[in-house]
Amino acid sequence: MTKHLASPDGTRPLWRNRDFMLLWSGQVVSTVGMRVTTLAYPLLVLALTGSPFQAGLVGFAQTLPFLVLYLPARALVDRWDRKRVMLAADGVRAVLMGLVVVAVAVAVDQVSVAPLLVVVFLDGACFVCFQLAESAALPHIVPRPQLPTGLAQNQARELGADLAGRPLGGALFGIGHQLPFLFDLFSYVLGFLTMLFVRPGLQERRADAPRRGLLADLRGRLAAARHARDLSRPVAAARVRLPARHRLGLLQHQLPRPRHGDRPCVGH
């Protein structure tokens, strides 16, 4: 029986990987909850103020952490314990959502837009930190031959949350203004609880040699991002001009080839 359950290379299937299933199942609900409030926040502001502009500001605040925090957060997450980062991110988001639930349930007419903008930005910042820590921890949870499958399942989780979260958010908001935020609070608490049972040690052993400073690390990441952008320009231009059968060859020509002995780095 175990022969049928095992992968061809002898590893267990992902659904029998306890740590991966704990992390993945908790984040399925948590990601749906975030998509629910992604729609509910602008609807709430529109209901309170009647201003599409202020509702749009909330949408902007939701996007801003991805634009301004991704590189700095990545440099910081690489220096911190990844399990603790994910626990802290879900814990902070649960507290923020609890405050929103209380405010909407008790005194919805007194809720102002400015505090909501702060809450939305902090929520997005925590999501950025969690996502970076999760992607970097995945190679320590999933065996290397199963990494493509694990990444695909995480991507399916994101796409499924996009499909289900927004309609669910609209339906819950129609029933009661506080319900989408209550659902999101539940999702963050569940994500936090499942993360508690994931084993620690989700990063590489630190070498004794001193690491370069945070600013130097950020400069290196910015330079790498500019280099990747420069490489993508001729490829993007070629996609317009070349038939599809020639695009893959051009992409392989533009990307730097790994040197002998280099190992692929996943999750950094």
Report the pLDDT value the prediction gives residue 119, as an integer from 0 to 100. 95
Burial-class residue 15 by CB neighbours within 10 Å (0-12, 13-18, 19+).
exposed
Span 24-68, pLDDT tens digits: 999 999 999 999 999 999 999 999 999 999 999 999 999 999 999
Span 148-196, pLDDT tens digits: 999 999 999 999 999 999 999 999 999 999 999 999 999 999 999 999 9
d(CA 163, CA 136): 26
End-to-end CA distance of the chain: 37
Residue with tokens 């007194």: 110
Report the pLDDT value the prediction gives residue 266, as an integer from 0 to 100. 44
- The set of residues, in sequence order, having a beta carbon less than 8 Å from that of 164 and lying 6+ positions away, is 32, 35
CA distances from 187 to 21, 35, 133, 150 (A): 16, 11, 19, 21
Which DSSP symbol is given to 15? G
Residue with tokens 């609209």: 170
Mean pLDDT, residues 87-95 taken together: 96
Report the pLDDT value the prediction gives residue 218, as an integer from 0 to 100. 59
Element (H, E) at 30: helix 18-49
Which DSSP symbol is given to 142? S
Query: pTM of the predicted model, to two decimals?
Result: 0.74
